[in-house]
Amino acid sequence: MSRQTARTGDPRKVNGELFTLTYGALVAQLLRDYEDDEEVNKQLEKMGYNIGVRLIEDFLARSNTGRCNDFRETSDIISRLGFKMYLGITPVISNWSPAGDEFSLLIENNPLSDFVELPEGHSALNYSNILCGVLKGALEMIQMDVDVWFVQDQLKGDNITEIRLKFNKRLEDAVPAGED
Amino acid sequence: MAIYSVYIINKAGGLIYQYDHFTNRPEVEKTFSFPLELVLKVFDEKVVVAFGERDGIKVGHTVLAINGKLVEGRYLQDGRDIIEFLASQENFPLDIKFGRPKLTTNEKIMLASMFHSLFAIGSQLSPDLRSSGIEVLETDTFKLHCHQTMTGVKFIVIADPKQAHIDVLLKKLYEVYTDFALKNPFYSLDMPIRCDLFDSNLQSAIEQAEKLGISNV
């Protein structure tokens, strides 16, 4: 995918800009097709979800991580391994809720929006909403039900891009034998 | 030293992939004249030897082919019943091939879901929480190695008991699965895997594992 160097054993690399441009073209086309920011957000999340449920297996196969015992461990692995492996960035984790079930990922330079300037009148569009879907899909496959949403976005003039994750429950029905 | 077969079971217990790598099943072909010295019977829709072992043909062996033509269960390819065919003298002399039959797809699916339940029972029997479930199942003729991923997919390798480094192969198979099944946008999750790329990469992973196993023994 993008500027990854951490991944070993795979000499094929794609130019990061091509990836960014591809994603940009996708969002632009969705905007033309749906003409509604909310609908585009929904579509992006859906796409991300479908990526997430597949990507998690790749992540597990290559990262050698065990099962997390609490949400803090999860947050650490998402940022330090997940984002690093696939996007080449390490978001900062902050703004923990007192109960320890919500946190924020702060992204300084989002590779998806490298060349992007949002046009007027798209204040509701979450350009990188695909990331929310990926996180939700991936965590759901390892039996964690979470809500993921954008709080701030540098594209909308905020200082930083902030994605918030909220842990709802463990999906007990889906836990594989031996781990319940 | 060999790897016999690979099974992949999804989290619901359905078989999504199966591959037979090495089939060293003894087959015996012999020419017979009338009357047949062996006693045959129909069992489970197949014609099996019920009595009279000779020349490497053992009780329990199934009729696989007659005169070089494969049979279909208890019938010849033209639909005639094998037992009746072998009872009439004008069909002799003829060649019959005996051997152990391959599992049918339905049997494989059934065995896979049975193993899925057995695995669950295995982990429930554990005195401690979070048992890994069945990892190795050993018999005198083969060893079954199972690896369950965190998402609940099971990878099963059936290999020679002396074959080493199956754990490496299991991990490699997981990577092949993520790369060539899951990353194929047209593969739908939890469905049977029908991808040529997946097939060929899985085969080369198995061949590599066999070489590795030999060089280390």
The pLDDT of residue A2 is 40
The pLDDT of residue B27 is 82
Nearest to B81 by CA among B122, B37, B40, B120: B40
For chain B, say whether A70 makes contact (Cβ under 8 Å). no
For chain A, say whether B125 makes contact (Cβ under 8 Å). no
Highest mean pLDDT among A47-56, A68-77, B79-88, B159-168: A47-56
Q: Which residues of B112-142 are buried (b: 16+ CB within 10 A; e: fewer)?
A: beebbebbbebbeeeeeeebebbeebeeeeb
Residue of B nearest to A9 (CA): B175
The pLDDT of residue A3 is 40
The pLDDT of residue A11 is 65
Whether residue A7 is predicted with pLDDT greater than 50 in this model: the reply is no
Domains, chain A, ranges and CATH?
16-116+125-171 (3.30.1380.20)
Alpha carbon distance A111, A20 (integer Å):
7
Whether residue A33 is predicted with pLDDT greater than 50 in this model: the reply is yes
Which CATH class name applies to B3-23+104-215? alpha beta
Whether residue A1 is predicted with pLDDT greater than 50 in this model: the reply is no
Alpha carbon distance B44, B47 (integer Å):
8
Q: Which of B16, B150, B177, B195 to mutate to test the interface with A (most CBs of A within 10 A)?
A: B150
Residue of B nearest to A66 (CA): B150
pLDDT tens, residue by residue, A149-163: 999 999 988 999 999
Nearest to B114 by CA among B169, B156, B150: B156
Residue extents of the structural domains in chain B = 3-23+104-215, 27-99
Helix (H) or strand (E) holding B208: helix B196-215
- What is the share, in percent, of chain A residues with pLDDT greater than 90? 66
pLDDT tens, residue by residue, A95-117: 999 998 999 999 998 989 888 88
Residues of chain A found within 8 Å of residue B179, distances taken between Cβ atoms: 58
Give the fold, CATH level 3, of B27-99: Pdz3 Domain (2.30.42)
Whether residue B69 is predicted with pLDDT greater than 80 in this model: the reply is yes
Mean pLDDT of all residues in B74-79: 86
Which pLDDT band holds residue A65 (cuts at 50, 70, 90)? Answer: confident
